[in-house]
Structure 1
Amino acid sequence: MSLSATFIVPGDPGQRTGGYLYDARIVDQLRALGWSVEVIGLEGRFPDADGTARRSMEQALAAVPDGQAVVIDGLALGGVPEAVTAQSGRLDLTALVHHPLADETGLSPALRTRLLASEARALAACRRVIVTSPFTARRLGVLGLDPRPPAVIEPGVEPAALAGPVADRLAGRESGGCERLLCVASLTPRKGQDILVQALAALVDRDWHCVLVGSTRRDAEFAARVRRAIDEAGLGARIECVGECGHQALSAEYHRASLCLLPSHYEGYGMVVAESLARGLPLISTTGGALADTAPADCCLRCAPGDVEGFRSALQRWFDDGALRHRLVRAAVGRRNGLRDWPAAGSAFSAALREVPA
């Protein structure tokens, strides 16, 4: 039997955020399993959809043959319930939800209310719902977005070599030199880089260098604010904003790092956790959203979202306590073999698409 599907995402499908990378990896795995998959990137503004976005979704769905499987990324789905509902009778629609739209940081109360209502209507038009974490599954119920139990398909990760500083520490080589810190996330309010800069500004007497990897275009105003904070703290030589990186450049940054940082206010999963653990890298993370579940306590120092002092304290413990560093490194390395790979995630996704809901 021929298997075919259409994936619909907002904007350029090649964007290098966690959600887009998840979608792309799943598409690759479905193709490896014999699916024919077309990926469509929509024009317009999402998730608070404008007229261009609505027309783009209408045209994309209208072009899909009757009965075909269509997977719509939640960022594109939730703001256009009318377009989705109009096609629900003839297409096999699946919602792929990374996190509820209303959970985005910085929304006005009016916009949050509007997104809750529109996402609930759009989800109701879909035959099935797939989420990327147990947290998001619970969150859909808490917010009253969809009463059905969704399929939970967590991200996979590629096997990777140990990061250089990790291998050194396992071999008993503690250089006592500069700690290289890595934060991988688009510069947007939800990712909390402003919190990180404040925490590091209180630790200028420690030896560290921090690299911020992630797009500065998704919220140019916030990215500019983070850069100003870096300059005002006199940290321009110690905190690098390198922008969005391709796969090889990002892998090189991971390999040079000794510690990964997630100051996020909220994550629907937090793929950086798995990418870090695949290299044996410990983390300092908030407990925002799914991070309370996905960032393991045995290899991660954790604090509440938005807690500058908590993040500063965790960083100070890392800098000052060699025994703690070794304990966290050993625990992170011990997590590597238990990580799910992308073929397993792809197989689960394929099975979910083929399942006929009750």
Structure 2
Amino acid sequence: MSFRAVLAFPGDLSTPTGGYAYDRAVLAALPDAGVAISALPLPAGFPFPAPEQVRQALERLEGVPHDHVLLMDGLALGALPPAEVAGLPHAKVALVHHPLALEAGLAASQQARFSANERAVLATCTQVVCTSPGTGRTLVADYGVDPARLTVALPGTASAPRVPADGDPPRLLAVGSVIPRKGYETLVSALSTLHDLPWSLDVIGGLDFDPAHVAQVRGAIAKAGLGDRIQLKGASSPQDLDAAYLGADLFVHPSHYEGYGMVLAEALRRGLPLLCTTGGAAAETVPDGAGVKVPPGDATALAHALRPLIADRTARRALADAAFQAGQALPGWPDTACAIAGALTRARASGRVAA
């Protein structure tokens, strides 16, 4: 029997990041899994909210009918005061894309504060949902989450046509917001040693989250003399992103850490030759043999891996075949929704729900 829940998230649901894309897809798929779910926008500003934004967020959560299950995105939940969250009279489920303390570019004091707060606030939730086995292991080992109340709900991937990936010279594609965690300065450094090879790179991802870092990346591109070969395209519409995948010949993902790496799954599904790091869950999202993997933050290793893939079309084709095969085994969004519906059902049965 269907029951009611809300998915609470900060800011604008249309924000072009993997976490928000996950939330959008879950909202669309959960009704077919037996959960009547609605969206509950919280104030923007998380995970660094002003006190007024925290107050408003708590008021909106308190205003949800008490017989609804709260599914709370960790981007907001991890920065809310644990005592106030514990006082909410709802069954509560956390949705953790990746722990806030693992975002790159944080000061040690910020990391410690996030880690302690998130550990405490997760303890107030009846169930915890995360997006990869690797993130789940981190939550158990470092955040005190009991495996019995943990659900891994891998992101789904929609069906997509296989891309040709046969251009020459190759067109490289990277997808992800230009923020420190995504490792674009490492990628620029690696590509600066490959001037002798023909290639181009488009980076598709938001430029508004960390303007100072965007300026650093632009400066690195200019210093390397690659302004005519590397383009920061900014965020794009789903249609334009599909076109970018279709026109690419090699997918590159230099991220320092991923809670899952939805764009990696999208590249695999389309059969794009793929080079990524082993940062966080990315090492498992891309199965061994389905892509080339290097340590995060290592520009030399990245350059050594890029060179043969850029230079050898045959090598890219073999990697494309392996990626496509792995991509066909990825779960769909109905699978994701089913896993989350199970966690919500368990929370409803054992959590604090008003009669």
Specify if TM > 0.5. Answer: yes
Q: CA deviation at 1:357?
A: 5.0
C-alpha distance in structure 2 between counterparts of 1:317 and 1:328, whole Å = 12
Among 175, 178, 181, the alignment partner of 1:184 is 175
C-alpha distance in structure 2 between counterparts of 1:131 and 1:312, whole Å = 32
Equivalence for 2:41: 41
Q: Is the 8 A contact 2:34 2:341 kept in 1?
A: no
Among 318, 327, 347, the alignment partner of 2:338 is 347
Q: Where in structure 1 are there 5+ consecutive unaligned residues?
A: 169-174
Q: TM-score, normalised by structure 1?
A: 0.93
Per-residue deviation, residues 94-142 of structure 1 (Å, max 9, x unmatched):
0001111111112212111111111111111111100100001100122
Q: CA deviation at 1:244?
A: 0.5
Q: CA deviation at 1:35?
A: 3.3
C-alpha distance in structure 1 between counterparts of 2:315 and 2:350, whole Å = 48
Q: Where in structure 2 are there 5+ consecutive unaligned residues?
A: none
C-alpha distance in structure 2 between counterparts of 1:324 and 1:229, whole Å = 29
Q: CA deviation at 1:297?
A: 2.4
- Greater shift after overlay, 189-198 or 338-347? 338-347
Per-residue deviation, residues 177-205 of structure 1 (Å, max 9, x unmatched):
21011100000000001111111111111
Indicate the SS of the match to 2:280: coil
- Greater shift after overlay, 92-101 or 331-340? 331-340
The residue correspondences of 1:305-320 to structure 2 (distance < 5 A) are: 305-320=296-311
Q: Is the 8 A contact 2:250 2:316 kept in 1?
A: no
Q: Is the 8 A contact 2:12 2:44 kept in 1?
A: no
Equivalence for 1:85: 86
Among 252, 277, 290, the alignment partner of 2:243 is 252
Task: Report the residue type matching 2:295 in the other structure.
Answer: A
Indicate the SS of the match to 1:335: helix
Q: TM-score, normalised by structure 2?
A: 0.94
C-alpha distance in structure 1 between counterparts of 2:10 and 2:17, whole Å = 12
Equivalence for 1:302: 293
Task: Report the residue type matching 1:316 in the other structure.
Answer: R
Q: Is the 8 A contact 1:48 1:115 kept in 2?
A: no
- Greater shift after overlay, 248-257 or 34-43? 34-43
Among 232, 241, 244, the alignment partner of 2:232 is 241
Q: Is the 8 A contact 2:291 2:322 kept in 1?
A: no
Among 265, 280, 290, the alignment partner of 1:274 is 265
Q: 1:147 to 1:120 in 2, by over 3 A?
A: same
Indicate the SS of the match to 2:118: helix
Q: CA deviation at 1:302?
A: 1.1
Indicate the SS of the match to 1:313: helix
C-alpha distance in structure 2 between counterparts of 1:325 and 1:14, whole Å = 34
Q: Is the 8 A contact 1:44 1:51 kept in 2?
A: no
Q: How many residues align?
A: 347
Indicate the SS of the match to 2:336: helix
Indicate the SS of the match to 1:207: coil
Indicate the SS of the match to 2:113: helix
Q: CA deviation at 1:303?
A: 0.8
Per-residue deviation, residues 11-46 of structure 1 (Å, max 9, x unmatched):
111111111111110110013445332212221422
Q: CA deviation at 1:219?
A: 0.7
Indicate the SS of the match to 2:292: strand
Identity %: 39
C-alpha distance in structure 2 between counterparts of 1:135 and 1:333, whole Å = 23
- Greater shift after overlay, 316-325 or 146-155? 316-325
For the aligned residues, what is the CA RMSD? 1.6
Indicate the SS of the match to 2:60: helix
Equivalence for 2:16: 16
